[in-house]
């Protein structure tokens, strides 16, 4: 807790430098603006609101639950041409095709996931699983991710996520495929299933848990309050979850995200995403080495206005953090599970 040391991340096959004593240093760097508290529930100028007109001229339906539509500015398109052949191994290019979708969680712009009800979150999970099944029928990788807050690059306050399906396995997916495959080969148990069992027993990095799920600050966490959401049983893909597991997932997501908001009493920014076994042609292959999981990467370090920057040493050498994962987990674990905005109700 007091002395620097390095920790190994078996999922990424790399290391993180833990320098817990550095959190005591005075901060004279950049201060972020807290997110706005006065987001209007409905704004005709907000392109994600029901009935609003988007950039391409399409008008959103008067949706009352989740709403999925093609991204108006997609990073991947299904009919992209083949790149030219390379004339040298140091200048390689490869085809990249796919589709990008946007999914609104709720019709109200002022309602983030931790303020939604468990049934409303369950509807989001069902929509995720439906998209994973639909797009995964042909595409090898379906990346569901949410960027929450302007600090994490979100340009719209309306609660939403993105889903990108690609004709290739992205770098993180290929890396996790390799490390999990190697672990199963060497230890005869899926890596993250064994890891969840260990963390459930040790409890020092546990944040919240229920019968089907647990959330931990991983032993190898890089971001200050990074968490890993894990199922207790072996499950490869989001669409493989049972009804009861989806209900308990909605519950534990709500509990975690309330704790996040309560930490600094602000709508907590993060980037999160689901990783599961590849799809498309991989549906017919043995993917037992995979274990479904979700990563949460929040940038805030000391307060609502002080963030962790991944620069300098992190970009040029290796990841580094300023408090131990155990300290972060203890702080999150001790927070109430009633949202700070609802305590006076």
Which CATH number fits the domain that encloses residue 58? 3.30.428.10
27 within a domain of the structure (yes/no) = no
- The CA distance from 204 to 62, in Å, is 46
Instruction: Say which residues have a Cβ less than 8 Å from residue 97's Cβ, sequence separation at least 6.
Output: 76, 77, 78, 79, 80, 166, 167
Q: Is residue 3 flagged as an active site residue?
A: no
Q: Is 153 annotated as a binding residue?
A: yes
Active-site residue, selected from the candidate residues 160, 183, 289, 339: 160
The residues near 342 (Cβ < 8 Å, ≥ 6 apart) are: none
pTM of the predicted model, to two decimals?
0.95
Ligand-binding site membership of 155 (annotated): yes
pLDDT above 80 for 155: no
Report pLDDT digits (tens) over 199-253: 999 999 999 999 999 999 999 999 999 999 999 999 999 999 999 999 999 999 9
**Contact predicate 296/272, CB 8 Å:** yes
Domain that holds residue 51: 38-80+94-335
* 309 labelled binding-site residue: yes
pLDDT at 77 over 80: yes
Q: Rg for the chain (alpha carbons), in Å? A: 20
Is 29 a member of any domain? Answer: no
CA distances from 97 to 79, 139, 227, 241, 279 (A): 7, 9, 31, 28, 15
Instruction: Tell me, yes or no, whether 345 lies in a domain.
Output: no
Q: Is the pLDDT of residue 31 over 80?
A: no
Confirm whether residue 294 is marked as ligand binding. no
Look at the chain and report how many structural domains it folds into. 1
Asked whether residue 56 is domain-assigned, the answer is: yes
Residues in the chain, how many?
A: 345
Given a contact cutoff of 8 angstroms between Cβ atoms, the answer to whether 273 and 293 are in contact is: no
Q: Is 104 annotated as a binding residue?
A: no
* pLDDT of the residue at 5: 94
Q: Is 123 within a domain?
A: yes
In a domain, 18, yes or no: no
Q: SS3 of 67, please?
A: strand
pLDDT for residue 343: 84
Q: Is 72 annotated as a binding residue?
A: yes
Closest of 180, 178, 201, 208 to residue 296, by C-alpha:
208
pLDDT at 26: 55
């Amino acid at each position: 807790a007091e002395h620097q040391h390095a920790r190994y991340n078996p999922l990424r096959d790399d290391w993180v430098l833990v320098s817990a004593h550095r959190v005591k240093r005075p901060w004279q760097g950049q201060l972020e603006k807290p997110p706005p508290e006065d987001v209007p529930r409905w704004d005709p100028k907000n392109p994600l609101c029901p009935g609003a007109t988007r950039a391409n001229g399409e008008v959103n339906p008067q949706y009352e639950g989740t709403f999925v539509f093609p991204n108006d500015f997609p990073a991947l398109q299904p009919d992209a041409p083949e790149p030219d052949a390379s004339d040298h191994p140091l200048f390689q290019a490869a085809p990249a095709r796919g589709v990008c979708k946007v999914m609104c969680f709720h019709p109200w712009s002022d309602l983030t996931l931790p303020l939604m009800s468990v049934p409303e979150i369950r509807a989001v999970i069902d929509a995720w699983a439906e998209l994973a099944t639909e797009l995964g029928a042909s595409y090898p990788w379906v990346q569901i991710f949410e960027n929450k807050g302007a600090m994490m690059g979100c340009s719209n306050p309306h609660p939403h996520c993105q889903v990108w399906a690609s004709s290739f396995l992205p770098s993180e997916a290929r890396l996790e495929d390799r490390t999990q495959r190697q672990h199963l080969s060497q230890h005869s148990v899926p890596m993250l299933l064994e890891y969840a069992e260990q963390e459930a027993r040790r409890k020092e990095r546990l944040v919240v848990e229920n019968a089907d799920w647990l959330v931990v600050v991983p032993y190898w966490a890089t971001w200050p309050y990074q968490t890993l959401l894990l199922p207790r049983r072996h499950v490869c893909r989001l669409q493989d979850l049972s009804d009861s597991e989806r209900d308990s997932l909605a519950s534990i997501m709500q509990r975690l995200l309330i704790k996040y908001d309560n930490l600094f009493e602000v709508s907590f920014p993060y980037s999160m995403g689901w990783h599961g076994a590849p799809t498309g042609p991989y549906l017919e292959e043995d993917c037992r080495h995979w274990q479904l999981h979700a990563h949460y990467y929040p940038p805030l370090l000391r307060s609502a206005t002080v963030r962790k920057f991944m620069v300098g040493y992190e970009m040029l050498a290796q990841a580094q953090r300023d408090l131990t994962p155990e300290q972060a987990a203890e702080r999150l674990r001790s927070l109430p599970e009633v949202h700070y905005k609802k305590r006076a109700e």
